[in-house]
Structure formats: structure tokens, C-alpha cells
Structure 1
């Protein structure tokens, strides 16, 4: 099963593609979709959508995991994050890729073991879980962590379903 993880952001969206076969995970690719801060909101959202469409065309993932919006102290930042996430989710839905949504704390706990992990800890653990992967930055590491979380969540759901 090929999975893509997405760490949405208006300025930079991280992405990571992995394969999951049972408990075995393999890195395929990762990177970042960057937008021009001087461009209009609609142009930036279009850049994110076009970038994701190109990634989906190249890697053809079976499913996606995406980080949920977290509410921070700056309402404008939260709104912009929500718009970026919405543009990405629309592209996934348009291309028929099923989506799993994960809270940041859930991803951190699943990958590092604590919901309060920092970016360096996530990057380090992703490097351990996907040996040899050249990670394109913190956003890409977060996206790979989301893909890993989605893989584990799928495996757990299947195991529970089989036991029932």
C-alpha cells in the first residue's frame, strides 16, 4: 500500500510518500510545496493544489494522511492554515484518494511516543523508521510522520476488525 502524508501550510506544505507492507515501511519520496508570500491567497492555494496534483500523478498513492488544523493564538494563521488544508483535501477528494485526518499530538505520540515532541525529535525518529531517507526539511519530516501514523492506524484498524 502506497501512502502519502501531508503537513499543510500556506507558505510551505510538507509531503512524504511511503509504502507499507504489514509492519514494514519504506521511503519513496518527500519534499515541500512552497508558495510565494507576495502572491494573492488564491494564487497561493492554486500553487498548493497544482503541486499536490503533480505529486499524486507521479507517485499514485492509495491513501493519504493529513494533519488536522490546530487552533493557535493567531486566528489569521489558523484561518490560512485551514484554507491551505482545504485546498489539499479538495485535490485528494477530486482524485479519489481516501483521507485519514490526524491531530498533531496524535502523530507525535504515534511516532515519538510523546504528544509534546518537538520537530527535532520527529525528524530523528522518522530517520530511524525510514533509514536512508534524505528528508527535505522539518515540514517533510512531519509529513512522513503523518504517513507513518496513517500506516500504523490502518494496520491497527485491520487487526481489530479481524479480531471482531
Structure 2
């Protein structure tokens, strides 16, 4: 069996200091996906920053130890109006990428627009639309909650589909969601 035919296990991470979403999915070459794990690593807002970051790192390491992902996908921090929020998100993102590097696991980052386009076909989809599509793709009986956990699953799916997406198929063979994702990726590179 070639590596192109095997299932890819992806750990998606929606970074945050208080709630860091983690989601693991197995994605087959036909783009079908199965939920492996979903959760949130929490740290106390009252704790010192170094303690909070250590808690997030420990939580991510525990998920890696238990589920052995092939790759890690992390939300790319690009801008937010609240400087305090973006700093915490960037710090948690750095911790996630550091843990990937420590473990020798390839990592990638994706913007929220790329993820929304890949999952819903619309780069400006709202949180509920993303949750609904994640639930549909993973054949879940209910919407994944909290939103951080759903976003982590969406990141994992986006990354897995990206590998089987625009570079692997001629433009005419792409689904509308794949085309929207490819367009969002082109815009984000400018």
C-alpha cells in the first residue's frame, strides 16, 4: 500500500490561552473523515502566563501521546482588534508549533478564512455554519462544542483536504468547497 492510499491522522489545534481546542481526525484518500478525539485544553486566567503556557503544552503533548498524529494543523494568527487576545492566541500557537517541533511532527498553519472556505465553501462563514459542516462531514449526532473544539476539527479537516486538494487534482475535478479554499489560499498569500 502506498502512502497516498493510507489514512492520514491530523491533529487540529485552535490556539487560545483559556481554551485551546484540539481535534484529531482520520481522513481517507477519498476525503471521508472519522472523528478520533475532540476536546479543549483549559488554563486558568488567574495563573501566571508561564504556568498557562505549560498547561497548554502538557495538554497538547497528552493528545499527541494518546493519538499519534501524522501532522499538526494550527490556526494562523494574523490580526485581531483586541491586542490582548491576539497576544495570548499567538503565544498558544507558538507553544503548539514548538511541541510539534519537539516531537518531529510536521506542522502547518491555516488562516480562519482558509478553514471556513475549505469546510463550508464560503470564507466568511459563521461559527455555527462551520460547526454544522464539521458535524455533517464527521457524521456526528450533535454539533461539536465548544466552538474551540469545532474549530480544531475544522482545522484538521482543512489540512487533510488541502493535501488532496488543488495540487492533486485538475481544477475541473475540484468540489466547490475545494475551489473556494484554493481561492482563499491564493488571497492569503498576497
Q: Which of the five TM-score ranges fits, normalised by the shorter chain?
A: over 0.9
Cα separation, 1, equivalents of 2:88 and 2:141: 30
Give deviations 1:1-52, integer Å, cap 9, x for gaps: 1111110011101011011111221111100001001000000000000000
Q: Which is bigger in relative contact order (C-alpha 8 A, separation at least 6)?
A: 1
**Are 1:81 and 2:89 counterparts?**
yes
Q: Which residue of 1 aligns with 2:18?
A: 11
Q: Which runs of structure 1 show a deviation greater than 6 angstroms over 4 or more consecutive aligned residues?
A: none
Cα separation, 2, equivalents of 1:118 and 1:156: 23
SS in 1 for 2:17: coil
Q: Answer whether contact 1:4 1:61 (CA < 8 A) is retained.
A: yes
Cα separation, 1, equivalents of 2:157 and 2:87: 27
Cα separation, 1, equivalents of 2:23 and 2:103: 17
- The gaps in structure 2 that reach 5 residues or longer are 1-7, 170-190
Q: Tell me: CA distance 1:132–1:76, structure 2 relative to 1, closer, same or farther (3 Å).
A: closer
Q: Which residue of 2 aligns with 1:155?
A: 164
RMSD: 1.6
Q: CA deviation at 1:158?
A: 5.9
Q: TM-score normalized by structure 2? A: 0.80
Query: Which protein shows a greater Rg?
Result: 2
Aligned pairs (5 A) from 1:15-164: 15-22=22-29, 23-132=31-140, 135-156=144-165, 159=168
Q: TM-score normalized by structure 1? A: 0.93
Cα separation, 2, equivalents of 1:118 and 1:157: 24
Q: CA deviation at 1:70?
A: 2.7
Q: Tell me: CA distance 1:65–1:133, structure 2 relative to 1, closer, same or farther (3 Å).
A: farther
Q: Answer whether contact 2:9 2:27 (CA < 8 A) is retained.
A: yes
